[in-house]
């Protein structure tokens, strides 16, 4: 009988990790994720290690196993000669809803969302950050954290809104109700109580700028969520076309909280990773670009198939079947 690996011994026995006791917990899907070349506990710790490097954590949205393979394969050489890849993956509620053809109002339940996460974890070794929407009731959020941690997800982000969830990019075109600070802090606290290791992270997504409540309200909430709620970090979000309010917020926030991890999501505004990092942002998430890229590409091919009444012309524009199969087979056997 083979001796258990060091990772399994750490998992199966009470121990100490980052100064906190770890209690034995069964790991959901353990055998499945070992096939991906990494155990849940090993993956779980990766995001904190990336943050410790003090460089920008480049993160991209994925919504399926295949999109995770794309994120893994993506690389580029920048003008300074450096070769860059994505450091982490974002499991987006918007993308998870979009692939099912449903509105982004928490219509896709946690069980369905976690199945998508499992598909991603099976084919990629990168750490995953989970978009937890509002987190639901604090009692429900407790179990969401437990499920995510057992899978090996590194972090969850929940937003401080209440009522029927509305996508932040609508801004004030739809009613955006902010949750009471005390209530949201209780939810954050419940999430932190639920986790077993100290590697798992809970981020508070601040929607004050989206709701038009202003910078002072955003700063007040940032302070409370970290100091009172126990959040490991924050996400500051904006729907504006320019990054000015993000940069203004960061200048003031970094003056009083230099070490709190901060996430930015440059979807509506354009700014370089270098400028975000200079402003104090630690994680840059490209939150929905892959799913948005898929629609025009697929619609173009579908239209051309109809127009031509044959597939000959489109075959020259799309991925060869053999290449697709080989990519999947290679990823499955080499993780």
Active-site annotation, residues: 104
Collapsed DSSP state (helix, strand, coil) of residue 205: strand
* Alpha helices by DSSP H, 257-320: 273-278, 289-308, 312-315
Spatial separation of the C-alpha atoms in residues 186 and 162, rounded to whole Å: 14
Question: Is 289:271 a contact under the CB 8 Å cutoff?
Answer: no
Q: What is the rounded (10 degree) CA torsion for 215, 219, 224, 229?
A: 90
CB atoms within 10 A of CB 117: 22
Q: How far is CA 81 from the centre of its chain?
A: 28
Q: Name the residue with tokens 């790991």.
A: 27
The DSSP-derived string for 26-65 is --TTHHHHHTTTS-HHHHHTHHHHHHHTTS-EEEEEE-SH
Spatial separation of the C-alpha atoms in residues 168 and 165, rounded to whole Å: 9
Question: Is 158:187 a contact under the CB 8 Å cutoff?
Answer: yes
Q: How far is CA 70 from the centre of its chain?
A: 16
């Amino acid at each position: 009988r083979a001796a258990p690996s060091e990772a399994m011994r750490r998992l199966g026995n009470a121990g100490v990790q980052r100064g906190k006791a770890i209690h034995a917990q069964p790991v959901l899907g353990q055998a499945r994720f070992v096939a991906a070349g990494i155990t849940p506990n090993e993956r779980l710790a990766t995001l904190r290690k990336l943050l410790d490097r003090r460089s920008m954590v480049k993160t991209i949205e994925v919504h399926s196993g295949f999109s995770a393979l794309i994120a893994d394969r993506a690389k580029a050489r920048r003008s300074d000669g450096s070769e860059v890849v994505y450091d982490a993956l974002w499991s987006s509620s918007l993308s998870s809803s979009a692939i099912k053809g449903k509105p982004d109002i928490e219509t896709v339940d946690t069980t369905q969302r976690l199945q998508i996460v499992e598909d991603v974890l099976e084919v990629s070794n990168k750490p995953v950050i989970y978009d937890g929407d509002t987190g639901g009731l604090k009692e429900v959020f407790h179990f969401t954290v437990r499920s995510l941690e057992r899978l090996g997800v590194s972090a969850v982000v929940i937003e401080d809104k209440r009522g029927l969830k509305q996508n932040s990019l609508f801004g004030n075109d739809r009613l955006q109700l902010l949750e009471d600070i005390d209530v949201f802090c209780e939810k954050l606290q419940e999430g932190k109580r639920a986790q077993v290791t100290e590697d798992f992270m809970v981020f508070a997504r601040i929607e004050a700028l989206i709701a038009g409540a202003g910078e002072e309200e955003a700063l007040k909430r940032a302070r409370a969520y970290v100091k009172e709620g126990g959040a490991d970090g924050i996400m500051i979000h904006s729907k504006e076309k320019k990054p000015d309010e993000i940069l203004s917020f960061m200048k003031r926030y970094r003056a009083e909280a230099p070490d709190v991890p901060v996430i930015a999501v440059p979807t509506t505004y354009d700014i370089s990773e270098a400028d975000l990092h200079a402003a104090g942002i630690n994680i840059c998430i490209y939150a929905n670009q892959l799913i948005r890229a898929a629609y025009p590409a697929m619609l173009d091919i579908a239209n051309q198939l109809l127009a031509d009444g044959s597939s000959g012309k489109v075959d020259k524009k799309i991925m060869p079947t053999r290449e697709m199969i080989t990519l999947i087979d290679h990823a499955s056997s080499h993780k």
